[in-house]
Structure 1
Amino acid sequence: MADGDEERAMEELKVVLHSFYTEGRKKGLGVTPRKGDVFICTSPKAGTTWMQQICHQLRTNGDMSFEEISNVVPWLETCEDIGIDVNGEQVTSPRLFKTHAWRPHLNTSEDAKYILITRNPEDSAISFYNFLNGWFFKKDSISMVTFLKFLFLERGKPQTIMNNPSYWEFLMSWWPHRNDKNLLWLWYEDMKTSHREVVKQVAEFLGYDTSNTDLIDLATENSTFNFMKEHERHFDEHTWKEANNVRCHMPQDAGLESSKVMNGGRKPKPDLRELQELLDKKWEEVVTSQTGLKNYEDMRRAHSLEKKGN
């Protein structure tokens, strides 16, 4: 692509990003947790939709009658924009929410439960680009390297409640609370390799009888890649897109052909050598400086050892 074309696409992307969140974000993040509420907390593209489906299947015994997953498991930052009252009742208990906010922007409570999922930063970055490519900007009008330098690497600590944290700042806001009794810390990679076991962990954390193998099997089957791909419209954010694309200066139908059911492991990874040094540097500056942990796998090992010690 010509440099001028990419520059124009970047300017258009900035307009979209500036318009994306409304004042409803503040109301959503300001929700007062009730006893038993469950908050799914992730940085973008770290298994959020997957966990929404797992939790909803467990609490409803396999219901698939919803329009779109965020209609029944609201995204705190945007639920007001599709007419969902964040303080209202949900289809059943417990109430479930998702958020990409860092911990200081949430009204946390010892009476609520928190499921934290993290994913390798490189894989998160690639998936983030693939998800927004063709929705927030015209397909392939911005290169992956340009996009990630601008939107993934330049983020830092949020300046206001209207801003998202970087991947690394999000991670560090939760890390000191990893052993809290009301927090379940999961790793996306374990969700892929030990799917049923993770479903069982979640069920136990939420208080379900894990000896009920029928429920565990059902929630596992209904959250497989193949099942969710077959029911893709339930996971494509079309409710939000149809109501808000134009407001955000995008075409009415932008992104309607894509969903959040993406299996990045089936595609060859792009060559990100140009960015790897920057990703490693960011980890060192934010995570290593606070924890001494040298990289993502080092953090996973440390967490695993802590769990075995407990």
Structure 2
Amino acid sequence: MTPRAFPSTPSSGRRVRSALVVALAETLTDREWSILATVNRLRLVTGLQLERLHFAELTGKSRSVVRWRVLKRLVDAQALTPLARRVGGSLRGSAQLTYALDTAGERLLRLRRNLSQTKERIRRPGPIGDRFVAHTLATSELYAQLVERSRAESFTLDNFQAEPAAWWPNGAGGWMKPDAYLSISAGKFTDHWWVEVDLATEAVPTLRGKFLAYIDFVSLGQLGPGDVVPRVLVTVPTLERREVVASVVAKLPAPAEEMFAAVLHNEAVGLLTAELSEATHE
């Protein structure tokens, strides 16, 4: 799909009449509603991530062709908008684009929320820069990998919330602000995690301050989602950065050593599932 000249912000600013939104809602497939919900959950998602999440049952060339047609329809309907920039790599067309909710997509989700009387929040990013895009897509990739792994293995991804939906009151009038919260389960065991996606852009004092906020949360006797204190998964881009994170954690007061786990981005799902598996076999 040849990208249109959309701005770098997630909304084209074009008005969509209410009658058109209602008419569009009546034609959306379950797959299209699910795509809108995913983009709302994660804020930014690549075409390839959407393909892996919502077209996995298709094989061969048909998978990319159907994905192209569906995403083009949603873009043409102003439900999604692709960012002007691509994410890099050798992929062509819509797989390489990054998508956010557009005007009609936001209104469609609001309409569905009102009709179903749910409390689903509509989340659209503000002004977008390269650092924000990279950070948000790294969080989206963790979600995509978890969904893929859950299809193949015997665990369930019960919940995944990206920021700001993942934020939690800290008990002192402020907020814990992880990049994501997730819970996975197998049998009667459920693990709860807060996630910090580190791109090696923050200085050590900043990391220390961020990690201390979690220690303070425990010290105040607070509980997070699931009425537990989630552990904190820190995903990093390189082994060198993992050593930096480990050094910061080692100098923090208890229970830092038990609370934090640092792992490479592409090994995060393996750690999560290994921890859950260990609990189920204890």
TM-score (norm 1): 0.28
TM-score (norm 2): 0.30
Q: Which has the higher contact order (CA 8 A, sep 6+)?
A: 1
Q: Which structure has the greater CA radius of gyration?
A: 2
